[in-house]
A and B are shown apart, each in its own frame.
Chain A
Amino acid sequence: MGASAGVGRALSEALAARGDALLLVASDARDLVPQASHLRLMYGVHVEIVAADAIRPEEFLGKIISTAQSFGEIQGLFFPIGASRNDDFGTLPVDEARWLIDANLLTVMAVVGHFLPFLLAANHGCIVGFGSIAAIRGRRTNIVYAAAKRGLASYFESLRHIAAQSKVRVQFYQLGYVATQQTFGRRLLFRPAHPAEIAAVVVQNLDRDIGMRYLPRYWALIAWLVSVLPWAIFKRLHF
């Protein structure tokens, strides 16, 4: 999912490079078609595409199920998807808040909910989710987005519990700064990681039961510091 840009696109390249057949999903076919062509030509892998928008979970799932039938067995699910808004300050109308929750949480739940039984029955495969360091602790910006991502983290924790007795790997990455359109041109405290660096780590860890991990790794320390910051100090921070 989310294969048209950023971590999703880099991940599709990293997976194709090791010979995996791919079913790419993103909102715009104009981005998927060149990416699929590129992966077929560069790596000789089988690639199919689904143009679907994550803000409509039922339609999104329906299109994937339809294409997956001809694609073959799905052995892994990767969700480097998400959406945020600059005006997410706690006053979003219901429709717009739902838009954020659908794109960041409900769509992932819908797809996993459909494919999880097949993965468990096959007793192999992986489900990889991606959260954000924006959700480490509630702040005055990205309110609905962070809530959805925090929910996603909880959801993946539960998934890991469900799959604990199987060989299905459930992994969740909390991403720090990544060099995408979201960070382009912004003054950041740390150098953003290149999507290809993130993708390389994800692929390297696929067979490992790592649970949740921060990427880049140093964000684990930052996340811990932010989480233990006393409220008296935290409430004064503007970030």
Chain B
Amino acid sequence: MGEAWPEVQCDVSSFDGGVRIRAALQRPDRYRFWNDKICGPRIPRGAGLSYAAASFREGGLSIEHTSFNRVLDFDSEKHIVEVESGISLDALHKFLVSRALFLKIQPGYGRITVGGCIATDAHGKNQARDGTFINQVTGLTLFHPTQGLIDLDDSTEPNLFRLTCGGYGLTGHIIKARLRASPVPSNTIEVRIEPVSNVRSGTDRLANLAAEMDFVYTWHDFSATGTPFGRGFVCAARFVPDSHAPSTPQTTEHSLSLSAASRAAWRLPLLNRWTTKVLNISYAKKQMWLGGRSLTTLHNALFPVHTKQLYFKLFGAAGFHEFQAIIPIGNVAEYTEAIRDYLVRRPIAITLASGKMFRGQRELLRFTGDGLCLALNFPRTSESRHFLEFLDRLIVSLGGVPSIIKDSRVPHSVVEASYPEAQRFREMLHAFDPKRRFRSELSDRLHL
């Protein structure tokens, strides 16, 4: 007997609140779903936490993978785990850590799915040393309505594999993935906070620390004016023997409730120029007050957003912007000075400015390259669009790369100018899927 899979029409939005549209959603939970030959355009969806509208489009059909969330196989010698793509990072971490393993490369929120990490080629806490998520994917199973199930890895189907990892879900449904985990040296992480006077000195410290530390990033205060602009700290962390662990366990269970809808639950924004200034000063003082050295658990170090879910709600229903870009090291000073000059003229509440060192070969539409990856957060206001247009021009002129998945409005022209292989991505995608069955707001906007 044929089976009609229920479909719900719902309002969906990107996590940053920039794209709000109506789309159809299906949430299959049985493998026979993949028998159905759905002819219309569709797009896979994981936890729906992408900042950009990568998992839905106006009038389109999104297929949510979260019911396919199981561990399928585990090779204890090779440290390879096979999972369904809808498994969350948190669930997978619990499985791996009980076997003294973990994924080195993963974003900081546990509800994100493995499929989402592959589709966006997410990065982790030390991209310069570890690379991006593709580096720990040893293979995957892709489903395409006309091509069926395809097993991919970097040696048998290298082009399709590399098109899919960082392909924003446009090649098909990632059904299963095989991931290489790494041994956990210990469950205790020593965190060192080191003050820096500006982005340039922070970048220098990042460059030195990236090779020797397991987790490393900078935080800068962009709400400060004058000389203090960009002051902040470097946060560098590494595994230390568990004998150093604090007597009181620091791991706490947090309810992972963050979604695009819950983020926007508070109607009014609480972050503006004045509150941001106070919060940034308080945050910096707290970090300094905690001292140069503290201990935390691996779970807390891997998923720092679990304790910061409130931060995203403070932006209110209007939402926020993240502009994350890789800037060639030689142009970092020019980039930050241009931003500082802009902010003097047209103040914007920069609620977060955080840097990570990046290394890698630019390829297709994956967010990688050599340089400083600087992420900026600011509230979505009437002024913010002008600032983003300024940042678009600036990053292109300095040879940088903006993140596609962290910005729900990055224009086609900016991607064309900053991703040398954008056209190659397009050609490979059309060669694999001439009818272009997988579409999202992101793919429409970028003419993919």
Interface residues of A (CB under 8 A from B): 4-6, 9, 28, 30-31, 34-35, 37-38, 41-42, 86, 180-182, 184-186
A37 touches B71 (CB 8 A): yes
Contact pick for A181, options B6, B70, B74, B95, CB 8 Å: B6
**A184 and B27 in contact, given A38-B71, A38-B72, A41-B74 (Cβ under 8 angstroms):** yes
Contact pick for A30, options B5, B32, B74, CB 8 Å: B32
29 contacts between A and B (CB under 8 A): A4-B29, A4-B30, A5-B29, A6-B29, A9-B29, A28-B31, A28-B32, A30-B30, A30-B31, A30-B32, A31-B31, A35-B70, A37-B71, A37-B72, A38-B70, A38-B71, A41-B71, A41-B73, A41-B74, A86-B4, A180-B29, A181-B28, A181-B29, A182-B6, A184-B6, A184-B27, A185-B6, A185-B8, A185-B9
Please name the residue on chain B nearest to A181 by beta carbon: B6
Docked pose: A5 CA to B31 CA in angstroms: 10
Interface residues of B (CB under 8 A from A): 4-9, 25, 27-32, 67, 70-74, 84, 95
With a cutoff of 8 Å between Cβ atoms, the chain A residues found around residue B7 in the complex are: 185
Docked pose: A182 CA to B7 CA in angstroms: 11
Docked pose: A159 CA to B29 CA in angstroms: 32
**A31 and B30 in contact, given A42-B95, A184-B8, A185-B6 (Cβ under 8 angstroms):** yes
Interface centre among A28, A30, A35, A184 (most CB of B within 10 A): A184
**A181 and B71 in contact, given A5-B30, A28-B31 (Cβ under 8 angstroms):** no
Docked pose: A28 CA to B67 CA in angstroms: 16
Closest chain A CB from B34 CB (angstroms): 9
Docked pose: A186 CA to B6 CA in angstroms: 9
With a cutoff of 8 Å between Cβ atoms, the chain B residues found around residue A9 in the complex are: 29
Closest chain A CB from B320 CB (angstroms): 29
With a cutoff of 8 Å between Cβ atoms, the chain A residues found around residue B67 in the complex are: 5
Docked pose: A30 CA to B31 CA in angstroms: 6
Closest chain A CB from B124 CB (angstroms): 24
Docked pose: A70 CA to B297 CA in angstroms: 45
Please name the residue on chain B nearest to A41 by beta carbon: B71
Docked pose: A119 CA to B346 CA in angstroms: 78
Please name the residue on chain A nearest to B99 by beta carbon: A41
Docked pose: A9 CA to B67 CA in angstroms: 11
Please name the residue on chain A nearest to B82 by beta carbon: A37
Docked pose: A9 CA to B32 CA in angstroms: 16
Docked pose: A181 CA to B5 CA in angstroms: 7
Docked pose: A30 CA to B70 CA in angstroms: 13
Closest chain A CB from B63 CB (angstroms): 13
A31-B30, A181-B6 are known; give 4 further A-B pairs, CB within 8 A. A5-B67, A34-B72, A41-B95, A184-B27
With a cutoff of 8 Å between Cβ atoms, the chain B residues found around residue A35 in the complex are: 70
With a cutoff of 8 Å between Cβ atoms, the chain A residues found around residue B72 in the complex are: 34, 37-38, 41
With a cutoff of 8 Å between Cβ atoms, the chain B residues found around residue A86 in the complex are: 4
With a cutoff of 8 Å between Cβ atoms, the chain A residues found around residue B4 in the complex are: 86
With a cutoff of 8 Å between Cβ atoms, the chain A residues found around residue B27 in the complex are: 181, 184
Sorted nearest first, the 6 A-B pairs with minimum C-beta distance are A185-B8, A38-B70, A30-B31, A5-B29, A184-B6, A185-B6
A37 touches B5 (CB 8 A): no
Docked pose: A63 CA to B95 CA in angstroms: 33
Docked pose: A181 CA to B64 CA in angstroms: 13
B32 touches A34 (CB 8 A): no
Docked pose: A28 CA to B25 CA in angstroms: 24
Closest chain B CB from A232 CB (angstroms): 35
Docked pose: A77 CA to B250 CA in angstroms: 42
With a cutoff of 8 Å between Cβ atoms, the chain B residues found around residue A181 in the complex are: 5-6, 27-29
Docked pose: A182 CA to B71 CA in angstroms: 26
With a cutoff of 8 Å between Cβ atoms, the chain A residues found around residue B32 in the complex are: 28, 30-31
B84 touches A34 (CB 8 A): yes
Docked pose: A182 CA to B73 CA in angstroms: 30
Docked pose: A31 CA to B8 CA in angstroms: 23
Please name the residue on chain A nearest to B7 by beta carbon: A185
Docked pose: A31 CA to B3 CA in angstroms: 15
With a cutoff of 8 Å between Cβ atoms, the chain B residues found around residue A182 in the complex are: 6
With a cutoff of 8 Å between Cβ atoms, the chain B residues found around residue A4 in the complex are: 29-30
Please name the residue on chain B nearest to A96 by beta carbon: B1
Docked pose: A210 CA to B25 CA in angstroms: 39
With a cutoff of 8 Å between Cβ atoms, the chain B residues found around residue A185 in the complex are: 6-9, 25
Docked pose: A37 CA to B7 CA in angstroms: 29
Please name the residue on chain B nearest to A183 by beta carbon: B6
Docked pose: A46 CA to B9 CA in angstroms: 41
Interface centre among B7, B25, B70, B73 (most CB of A within 10 A): B70
Closest chain A CB from B349 CB (angstroms): 37
